[in-house]
Amino acid sequence: MFDIGLNLTSTQFAKDQDDVVARAFSAGVKGLLLTGTNLHESQQAQQLARRYERCWSTAGVHPHDGSSWNEQSADALRALANTPEVVAIGECGLDFNRNFSTPAEQEHAFSAQLALAAELEMPVFMHCRDAHERFLALLEPWLDKLPGAVLHCFTGSRQEAQACLERGLYLGITGWVCDERRGLELRELLPIIPADRLMIETDAPYLLPRDMKPKPASRRNEPAYLVHILESVARWRGEDPQWLAAQTDDNVRRVFGVQF
């Protein structure tokens, strides 16, 4: 199992990063992709990926931080992306739900990062919330120039999933699918995702699976809980968990070029 979405730079992990990583590997997780959401956190994620074995990172600017994008951040991310630990550009994309940065700022930062990924021949690690049509409109011209494109933490509709799959995107599934209040639609569409386009992730410390028993006292998600997500996804897809783990691991190797 490989967790493609871990926010290890979060302050929630500030006091026990070593233990969090150790617990993940003890639970059977074979590798971790640490998420960079702005320049500073991308730098932190790269340093953490260098610190731990079988860890890699992304480098990018989340749509919430789109207003911070400038030529200097572009140059800094380009340099960061040339380190061996960084295997994808992102987390980038659009989030029209909260608009912490204006839509125009988000679109500018997203397009610039797609251009950077194409220039460096790197995959993109993306975010989309309440912006599906505009997201695809900006992404589509770049798809034939990118070696891979992953839409992480997918929570969209069946129609949105089909549109993404038709364009060759990989979909990252989190513990959202374990939420009996919000995740039922996602649970029902799981079988339409081809196994060779599926990835799994925790997005820790966020999105603790609601159906975990007993719930951790901290109420904090961790990569060690990836096994719960994988087994749940496999059950709802009607597949053997070990087979699905091997398939999703192959997808990670193919897209991000990592060995674990």
**Domain range summary for the chain, segments of one domain joined by +:** 2-256
The Cα 129–Cα 111 span in angstroms is 16
The Cα 239–Cα 225 span in angstroms is 19
pLDDT for the residue 118: 98
Confidence of residue 181 (pLDDT cuts 50, 70, 90): confident
Q: Which pTM does this prediction carry?
A: 0.97
The Cα 116–Cα 257 span in angstroms is 18
State the average pLDDT over residues 235-253: 98
Instruction: Report DSSP letters for 191-250, one per residue.
Output: GGS-GGGEEE---BTS---TT-SSPPTT----GGGHHHHHHHHHHHHT--HHHHHHHHHH
Inform me whether the pLDDT recorded for 175 exceeds 90. yes
Q: For the chain, what percent of residues have pLDDT higher than 90?
A: 95
According to CATH, the topology of domain 2-256 is: TIM Barrel (3.20.20)
Residues contacting residue 148 through CB under 8 Å, at least 6 positions apart: 88, 123, 124, 170, 254, 255, 256
pLDDT for the residue 4: 98
State the average pLDDT over residues 176-194: 94
pLDDT for the residue 218: 85
Q: For the chain, what percent of residues have pLDDT higher than 70?
A: 100
Inform me whether the pLDDT recorded for 143 exceeds 90. yes
How many of the other CB atoms lie within 10 Å of CB of 169? 22
How many of the other CB atoms lie within 10 Å of CB of 6? 29
pLDDT for the residue 123: 98
**215 burial type by CB count under 10 A (0-12 exposed, 13-18 middle, 19+ buried):** exposed
Confidence of residue 243 (pLDDT cuts 50, 70, 90): very high
Confidence of residue 69 (pLDDT cuts 50, 70, 90): very high
How many of the other CB atoms lie within 10 Å of CB of 121? 9
Confidence of residue 150 (pLDDT cuts 50, 70, 90): very high
The Cα 88–Cα 35 span in angstroms is 10
**Which tens digit of pLDDT belongs to each residue from 73-91?**
899 999 999 999 999 999 9
Inform me whether the pLDDT recorded for 217 exceeds 90. no
3-state secondary structure of 154: coil
**Do 114 and 47 form a contact (C-beta atoms < 8 A)?**
no
Q: In whole numbers, what is the pLDDT of the chain averaged over residues?
A: 97
